[in-house]
Amino acid sequence: MTTIDAAATPGTASRGLRAAGWALHLYTASGAVLGLLAVLAAVDGRTVQALWILLAALVVDGTDGTLARRLRVKETIRGFDGARLDDIVDYLTYAFVPVVLLWTGGFLPDGRWGTVLAGVPLLASCVQFCRTDAKTDDHTFLGFPSYWNVVAFYAVVLDLAPAVTATILVVCSVLVFVPVRYIYPSRTTTARSLNLGLAGLWLVLYAVILLGMPDPSPVAVALSLAYIGYYLVASLLLTLRRSRTGAGTAR
């Protein structure tokens, strides 16, 4: 998730800067349209195409925050909450659409249990998106940051059994409420260049894997999973370090 914010600076914005700000908001909002297209593809059984569309949504979300800060949209477009727009789009593309993809693709159990399990991450994400402390002052995510699009990606690529997918959904939903600090690749200051570079590489691997479907490159899959491992371990270590720093400060 990328928050559309910018440090407010005194002064009157030029007409061109305001126009650029509105264009940026439209760019962010395009993620909602991509979400609709992904749902239509999923319902139509075009699972891989839906993943391509979700990749496009990831690129939009990964770039709009940086552009917003450079364009100073919080200052130039007053009366419009870009952060709220971003959260709305993120909920669609990171939570709702991936769950639809899992449901239509047969990656959830059949019947009533499948319906219940589909609702669990959606409810957890509703809480996560509404928490005022979901994004910390030092630019990390507190609790699992609703990366259901990543879960859906690997469910499709690895052809996970419904029971396995269900277990992952439940575990990650619980982790939404566990106060682990997860790296915010574009903003966490610790090892920021490394995190950005690895996140960019993962996006490239995502595309390489999809190009190879239904028989993706094992090397590309392994490397992409290695990044997920790095992300989780680095986030846990960051949490432990911040916890120790806080304890030391308290003493």
Domain boundaries, the chain: 15-245
Q: Quick one: which of 139, 152, 137 has its CA closest to 96?
A: 152
Could you tell me how far CA 37 lies from the centroid of its own chain? 18
Residue 95 near residue 148, CB atoms below 8 Å: yes
Distance CA 100, CA 115 (A): 11
Residue 3 near residue 83, CB atoms below 8 Å: yes
Whether the full predicted model's pTM is greater than 0.85, yes or no, is yes
Residue 82 near residue 5, CB atoms below 8 Å: yes
Q: What is the enclosing helix (H) or strand (E) of 221?
A: helix 218-250
169-174 mean pLDDT: 98
> What pLDDT score does 12 carry?
56
- CA 211-101-106 angle, to 5 degrees, is 100
Query: For residue 121, is the peptide bond before it cis, meaning its omega torsion is within 30 degrees of 0?
Result: no
Query: What tens digit of pLDDT does each residue of 87-122 get?
Result: 999 999 999 999 999 999 999 999 999 999 999 999
| CATH 1.20.120 describes domain 15-245 | yes
Query: What tens digit of pLDDT does each residue of 205-239 get?
Result: 999 999 999 999 999 999 999 999 999 999 999 99
Residue 72 has pLDDT above 90, yes or no: no
Residue type, 216: P
| Residue 80: how many other CB atoms lie within 10 Å | 14
| Residue 18: how many other CB atoms lie within 10 Å | 17
Residue type, 239: T
What's the alpha-carbon Rg for the chain, to the nearest Å? 19
Distance CA 193, CA 206 (A): 20
